[in-house]
Amino acid sequence: MEDAFARSVPEVLDFFGVNPTKGLTDIQVTSHARIYGSNVLPQEESTPFWKLVLKQFDDLLVKILIAAAVVSFLLALVNGETGLTAFLEPSVILMILAANAAVGVITETNAEKALEELRAYQADVATVMRNGCFSILPATELVPGDIVEVSVGCKIPADLRMIEVLSDHLRVDQAILTGESSSVEKELESMVTSNAVYQDKTNILFSGTVVVAGRARAVVVGVGSNTAMGSIRDSMLKTEDEATPLKRKLDEFGTFLAKVIAGICILVWIVNIGHFRDPIHGGFFQGAVHYFKIAVALAVAAIPEGLPAVVTTCLALGTKRMARLNAIVRSLPSVETLGCTTVICSDKTGTLTTNMMSVSKICVLHSVNHGVAASEYSVSGTTYAPEGSIYDHSGMQLDFPAQFPCLLHIAMCSALCNESVIQYNPDKRNYEKIGESTEVALRILAEKVGLPGFDSMPSALNMLTKHERASYCNHYWENQFKKISLLEFSRDRKMMSVLCSRKQIEIMFSKGAPESVLSKCTSILCNNDGSTVPLTPNIRAELESRFSSFAGKDTLRCLALALKRMPTGHQNITLHDEKDLTFIGLVGMLDPPREEVRNAILSCMTAGIRVMVVTGDNKTTAESLCRKIGAFDHLDDFVGRSFTASEFEELPASQKTSALQHMILFTRVEPSHKKMLVEALQHQNEVVAMTGDGVNDAPALKKADIGIAMGSGTAVAKSASDMVLADDNFATIVAAVAEGRAIYNNTKQFIRYMISSNIGEVVCIFVAAVLGIPDTLVPVQLLWVNLVTDGLPATAIGFNKQDSDVMKAKPRKVNEAVVTGWLFFRYLVIGAYVGLATVAGFIWWFIYSDTGPKIPYTELMNFDSCLTRQTTYPCSIFSDRHPSTVAMTVLVVVEMFNALNNLSENQSLMVIPPWSNLWLVGSIGVTMLLHCLILYVQPLSLLFSVVPLTWDEWTTVLYLSFPVIIIDEILKFFSRNSIGMKLNLRLRSADLLPKREVRDK
């Protein structure tokens, strides 16, 4: 029954055919269960494991690598190769792909846990009336039409429509669903509000929320998926995970690279068709197979096999650094996504605020000796911990607040006129509440005021254990006074009173709405001497003025406290006793903003990131918070900046677009609105980070580009998120964004390093094929270079230091290419030199080396006809392993120098020296050590078809390799000047990763 909130109680009962005094019959229960289903959130079928595994291989680059591995293996068999050499290359490729697939499967499995966590918020049991009798049944057996009774501490077992209030009032904490900072009073009257949101449905008790005050009966109107909690589950199921900006760029890169590889491979094969019949191959078919093998080697050289592993490793390193900042990353790709975040949609309650109501201001009458003189005090401490101080109007801390009569009596009243409990949880290491948040705030105030008569009391209290300290002062007053009678809070009176006795003196303490309490006061307590004076019109006007300031300007939730001396022996209080009260003071409380939030928001503005506050709370309260945290500092008015959900939905489509571009505050929202907001922003090409801690935030957290949950939040929110803030600190997000930007910069550096290295390998093979000289490198040597000599330095580049101005730059665009036109030109130049230097090392051995044959260049170009003509040298020299060893070593060493070039995109090595990243220096050392091992250790040298090099050969290697540093320094110089920018504009069409104007969905 979706419109139960708009119908009267008799209409709802008639709809389900239930008698409120007897409940459903067994026959009705069976019938309703068949019609409406059970009260269980259905379990969604998880993706089969084999599908998850196959999904990881659904990538173009991966498919090319698999094809290359298979073809390599088949060609080895065709050539009669057996043993390790036939299986090495395909085996290594498949092992890398399997490792990356494992990481992907683990990530996707974690994402499905959010739906399971949602079940934890379902109640276990319910008190149900059936066949005229109440019984306690499993909540899963509830059906629509059941009459359920709820009371304090009860978790609502289904969506219920109120039918009878059994106490003066009923209040429910529904923060996990709506994000409201305080509990909500429920009522019986039907609602006529159009487009009602959850907050408007004050006659509905929502599944999973908790009763904090009162007792009532209600009829079940929604079970299982047809509850508010069920709608959240459905919303999460409909949300598809978005690819991160880096993932989209790498996918584009893969498509682009695949086309280039295919084109080059076909070109190499076609160029050499004339050589298919060369005698050295033994026939046309064998020649075709030989050059096809070269094309496959070219594919292996062009594909950066280690790129997925290096990207994963770099992101993993970033997660460790972020964990030290209290940002726990659940999804590796989200680390990089932070770097391009343009909008942070922040939940208010518990994220920007502490979600712990606390007293922040107190107003009392100081004296009337020289006119009406009111005193205001401010209170520090924003959590449920009994830690904080009281300050006077000049900012001076009160050493012993309990010495002031009004503050002392405020503490008494706060402790005694109170039904809540505060306790310390050693497992969670924090203080927890039971009961109404406003009453808990008063309990904490009593602890901050302290006790009278003990000069050493503040230090003595600090010596208590946390468990003892939680309510020490409250327990003191409860032991001093015996509670005799209680008048509960009611909606019409808007106040609560308790009769207490101490040493045969009876005192009634009262608290409630200021207008209600003040109207029943005839005298007031003075703070300077503890005297009681008549409450004159002037004093009343002053108090009303302070109340208006507290409630209006400061948007505080205000309570007035009062007392009354009762006749001796009085044992009961009635409504008639609540008159002729003595006013003690006025307290203003709020869900306070976190102290560090203001600076964090200013940092976001500097970094070009818009912070949007999204909350279920009312507009006035939220606007006040935005003023406090600085979100509105740069604005003269809030027109076009602050909207409620209903106001936004009523806007025409064209105005909605404009509103989204300027909105800072979005209030009175429910879960569907949050998800809608994220989708709308994403359609405007914004990269959205959504923060939250409640069940209500889960769909939006899952939909956002990066969902950020609070560490103290619900398990559902954490499971649906990409990142969890261990310290619940909004400021941690700013530090995480800076880290994300640094990680992206480093990711760009090692991607460029690997691209330029692979370009070099392609140039090497292509030039050798075009010149008609023997194979420069064999496939297994290329694989070694790609995996080991490329992989280690590329990973170490991820340790490059964060730029000092990383948070002063605007967020990068989602469609920004990883490698732009000018950079692609730069790395083409570097890659071309790497390839040409490798070929030069190969040719040098044949023509100039003292250990080589010193043959003319023309003989080298005609090596394939050696067997058919007379030569002065044996044809076996073309099978010698020395030239390929020199070429391979040149390739390795030149790439080590190129790694040093990538310490910075544009800064010279004179500015950022190699030792600024010792990890890179170490990885270069390890790489060279590994290379020397395969050169000089016998089994490895045979496996990789290499031989030891002489000193002269090493000298030549260094001469050919070092110029790559000089070339890149020249290119960096151009980049730092206007030449690079001009060339970038000219080469924009040649961006390696093509730009897209429309966001990929």
Catalytic residues: 347
For tokens 């106040």, the residue is 495
Q: 877 vs 254, 293, 841, 952, CA distance in Å?
A: 39, 21, 16, 19
Contact between 934 and 940 (Cβ < 8 Å): yes
Hey, what are 261's tokens? 């590889």
For 820, list phi and psi in degrees, rounded to 5: -80, 175
Q: Side chain identity at 880, as an amino acid letter? A: D
Please answer whether residues 221 and 233 qualify as being in contact, where contact means their C-beta atoms are separated by less than 8 angstroms: no
Beta strands 327-329 and 723-725 are antiparallel
Cα Rg, the chain, nearest whole Å:
37
Taking the C-alpha atoms of residue 365 and residue 525, their distance in angstroms, rounded to an integer, is 7
Map 105-139 to HEC letters. Answer: HHHHHHHCHHHHHHHHHCCCEEEEEECCEEEEEEH
**Cα 97 to Cα 84: distance, rounded to the nearest angstrom:** 20
Partners of residue 566 on adjacent β-strands? 506
| Rounded Cα gap, residues 839 and 835, in angstroms | 6
Reading the block at residue 426, the tokens are 């050693």
Burial of 396 (0-12, 13-18, 19+ CB in 10 A): exposed
Cα dihedral across residues 867, 870, 876, 877: positive or negative? negative
Q: Determine the residue type at 877.
A: I
Q: Which residue has the tokens 């071309």?
A: 832
Rounded to whole angstroms, the Cα distance separating 779 from 68 reads 11
Distance CA 426, CA 424 (A): 6
Q: Which of 215, 219, 214, 208 is nearest to 178 (CA)?
A: 208
Going 614 to 617 to 620 to 624, the CA torsion angle's sign is negative
DSSP 8-state assignment for residue 852: S
Q: How many CB atoms are located within 10 Å of the residue 671 CB? A: 27
Return the ∠ at Cα 68 (arms to 64 and 69), rounded to 5°. Answer: 120
Rounded Cα–Cα distance for residues 968 and 978 (Å): 17
Q: How far apart are CA 76 and CA 85, in angstroms?
A: 8
- Which H or E element spans position 267? helix 245-271
β-bridge partners, 667: 644
